[in-house]
Structure 1
């Protein structure tokens, strides 16, 4: 069992650094390793689960946008926590660092005292070593019995039977596709809700999961962890039981890596995996994002079962923190059906074992050629990433929902976009910050409702007379009527760009906070916060 950030903060070297939690939940964030680096591009070098220590040297002289981008990269890589030593590169923690970490749910720590990072790494290493030794001593009898079964060659069934007896519940071994490889002979109900699961890993990665059909307890979790190692050893004696990823997983992995792109190769590999659309049929690609505390590989069986109940036969595999689903879909013109299907899938997943671990479902535009499928996979994952960056509250997001944001996130010059947003929205942001008004929120709602005054008043929960007064003030500050077609287009683009840059939703951010967090100078022009 790996420690949480809270447990790591109790280590002597971390305590001596006078840590302060500025963002995130240290009680739930799990730390796999502690690492120190001043490299700005560190996100691409992480494997996930790190507590990263830095003096901020790599951030010194960076723009506000680059500082926020640094945290985005770390969060995308699965970094658990970032600890910044203040007093060297920065007198205080940059405002953009705090806001982005809060939005991405990543723990951010300020270290107020100077302590050599090497001592922190050594303390963490000692913590892991003590836990490992304690784990071995506590489970020695269990481990000896299971290892004895493997060494004596009594087979997988005997290992599962012994595991079931120790855990007092039925046990199954399932492969990476969720298919049952072997079951224990212990009678009992196979409960799909009260389960204790341990990943079984081979030399090339996960080969399956050991499922104990019983409520997780400390004893049952300990048995599952030791039994998973024993099962891995037993599987190593019999490679035919599956020490490689499934054919479907291999297809997804190769598409994401960009090594599977030709029409012929895709047709052959998908057919071998048991899935291939008819020539000319539309392919619908979805990316189901799960919480980073739930490995995407473990979510594949549940996602496949739910997806096939909604969309028919699917090809499913894990990619990063998401599960990619390929299904036979509908043409691009059938967006309502696509959204309905994705929402149905979301309901089934959240009602099942994954529950709240399912965060967002991104849906790419359907494609009609197999050669276009790898691009659709990349777009579905991009839709999920963009929905996080704009602070979207919608759990189902189609590519069309973030089409403008994809354009703005492309090769457009950041300074030109910032100047455009400042010119369009700056007066409203300034007025809201100075007077505590809700003009930006009002404009956002009015544009979103197609300039319908009745619907805008309903969305905001205000009287129409109040709305008229606000719109009059907005038009006075902007110097143009909002219902002018050209002005409406510019304002819609500017609001989308504002969301992209700040990750905030005008409908949920208080006006007083909005000015301090995203005023035209600190965020839109790239200056310092405050």
Structure 2
């Protein structure tokens, strides 16, 4: 690694190469020399890593022409930087076939027509390479500190691009969907539209992307934060490849830009206290001045809808210290807001210690207002593995309300979302949508005492018998109704033989009547079964018969 890498053309200017001659590969003088290696054998595939300047007396080239060609082909295939041959007793000339091959692959061949000390060459070049490496590390450290200092200053991103330009003399841009784009120097503006259009199509998992457009080459590195790509640092170059020093420098710059973006977003979230007050007032059904809070709402439209989305965060093991909750709340708010915006929502967010409340507004035609695919995608991304660093210590549950248009219905949507979470917690449903709760939507609105009386009116005798013995009549009834009266299916689900099932059904018929599978009797019994299951989870102390 070096800010100014050692090239073959630089090697030819060194003292020990004053009498050397370049006889092939004139177009390969910009090959980088990473090290030198004395190589006198023909089988060396595992001995070089690429970038080595090979020194030889020609001992390994004293063979037939095919072996000489294979030797050179191996050097080219293993990406050696070049070949230096001492012309003398072991090797008196370079065949024209080797010269032609080297020219075709832009592979430099250098000859010494007098005896040279390879030890002097290696010592000189290795010393130079190591010194350059140390200087590069020092420069990287200095630039990293500079980037961090600039990240604390106003307009820090532009200042970082200026420093990068001064260090490389290349144009730089920072492009982002969420924030303002920057470029430096002024000539870099001509690449802005191209980079914005290209970066919009990127879904980078790798930390580096190379783009070539004719003679223009770009290095594109994502700026990551909170498990997402917030923007891209782009460097224009006339060369298709960049040195390791340049790439490491760009990585350090992206880290500082990420710190700037993180700080700006956290400041924005801290300024959202009015938004939090607005949502809390709405979910409590309090009157609000919409004009006062209009900046937190999208422009009213005939096709504007919303759902209330609630996330419950449970820290059951108390792994998060109290003083860290505020920072976690801000990070969660930024992450959730960013996900929803990218999926086309207009989110209004309130984050409390154990709860995230979102008014997820969206535009849709009437027949598309359900919009479940987009909500499923949003929830999936929020709870995906890339969010684990924020939620891994917490138990996360989600509930989503029905679709509404008027802001006065927020308190209803909040109750619906909480009900969906409650039903998941009690394992009475696996869906996050309130609409999928079915009959529980009605039962949850009833007084528990009234529900208990309804259960007693239809199931008391069965439940009393189950308490006194192990007939399991209630479970048999629930499964029998679920299987729509199919005896084989019921027996299989209960893991009992059919004779046992027949006896239980006879007992049920003696209590409920032989027509208990017929409407409307069946409907009443099914409602009572669901009411009992709900009371078992929500008010078990009431269940006394």
Q: TM-score, normalised by structure 2?
A: 0.42
Larger Rg: 2
